[in-house]
Amino acid sequence: PCIDRVSFAKYHPHQDMLKSFAESEFDTWCLAHHEAPFRKLHNLTISAEKAIPRIVDDLHDINHCSRIQTLLKEGYQSSVAIPCYDNKAFTGFVFLNSVQPQAFKLEALNGLKPYFEMVQFAVESEDHVVHAIETLADRMQGMMPSYSPEYYAHTKRMKYYSQLIATQLADHHHFNDETVEHIGTFAQFHALSDIQLPIEIACSRIRYTREQEA
């Protein structure tokens, strides 16, 4: 098939959201980023449940969606979504687009399966590494002398505020979905080095003395 664009959308089960993550063509945030409640994506939900690709021969047939309108505006005419799984758990979709209508046939897609698996492996391998780092950092943070429910809430605020700021700056600084997500993930651990501080310094709410600063 004539493939002109490849992307990966990651499923976030806790939010039941499908969010763009990796992209081969769009180099601006406003074009690359998209997210939607997965339960509202009926055809994709069926595709994920039955583990079969969803093929759209002509994107004009489903142009009620803002994302499809963007793809049409950029010249894409057809699409296929290949569901991905990790230990039988649904993780997202590899999306292919073509500037030609009716570009994708199921028989031809079977021959491309090794390439889909490579894309999936690349995304999920990084995801596993980031998750492992996040889990370890969470444990270390819990060992801090100043750790409390209020501190935990503060770290989550830092995560969401940082992600929000990164979203607003994404186009100007050419951030992609992956970068914005990682900024939010790691911002919550900005004070992780405090674990090495004495409790009287880590928990202090007043100005440090010269000796403490040293």
Q: How many CB atoms are closer than 10 A to CB 201?
A: 15
pLDDT for 177:
82
Asked whether residue 102 is domain-assigned, the answer is yes
Overall domain count for the chain: 2
Do residue 13 and residue 90 come from a single domain?
yes
pLDDT for 5:
93
Asked whether residue 16 is domain-assigned, the answer is yes
CA distance 179 to 112: 28
Do residue 147 and residue 100 come from a single domain?
no
Asked whether residue 149 is domain-assigned, the answer is yes
Do residue 55 and residue 103 come from a single domain?
yes
pLDDT for 11:
95
DSSP element (H, E) containing 200: helix 199-202
Asked whether residue 201 is domain-assigned, the answer is yes
Do residue 66 and residue 157 come from a single domain?
no
Do residue 76 and residue 24 come from a single domain?
yes
pLDDT for 204:
58
CATH number for the domain including 12? 3.30.450.40
Strand order across the 89-98 sheet: 35-37, 17-23, 5-12, 89-98, 78-86, 54-56
pLDDT digits (tens, 9 = 90+) for 175-208: 888 888 889 888 888 877 665 666 555 555 566 6
The DSSP-derived string for 129-169 is HHHHHHHHHHHHHHTSTT--HHHHHHHHHHHHHHHHHHHHH
Do residue 103 and residue 177 come from a single domain?
no
Asked whether residue 48 is domain-assigned, the answer is yes
Asked whether residue 138 is domain-assigned, the answer is no
pLDDT for 200:
59
pLDDT for 138:
83
Asked whether residue 124 is domain-assigned, the answer is no
Do residue 107 and residue 177 come from a single domain?
no
Helix axes 113-142, 177-187, angle to 10 degrees: 20
Tell me the HSE value of 66 on the side-chain side, using a 13 A CA sphere.
Answer: 7
Asked whether residue 127 is domain-assigned, the answer is no
CA distance 105 to 36: 26
The DSSP-derived string for 80-95 is EEEEEEETTEEEEEEE
pLDDT for 97:
95
Whose tokens are 């490579």? That residue is: 118
pLDDT digits (tens, 9 = 90+) for 67-88: 999 999 999 999 999 999 988 9
Report the candidate in 153, 85, 82 with the shortest Cα–Cα distance to residue 111.
82
User: pTM for this structure?
Assistant: 0.74
Q: Could you say which residues of the chain have pLDDT below 70? A: 1, 146, 193-214
Count the helices and strands in the chain (H runs, E runs): 9, 6
Do residue 160 and residue 83 come from a single domain?
no
Domain hosting residue 33, numbered range: 5-113
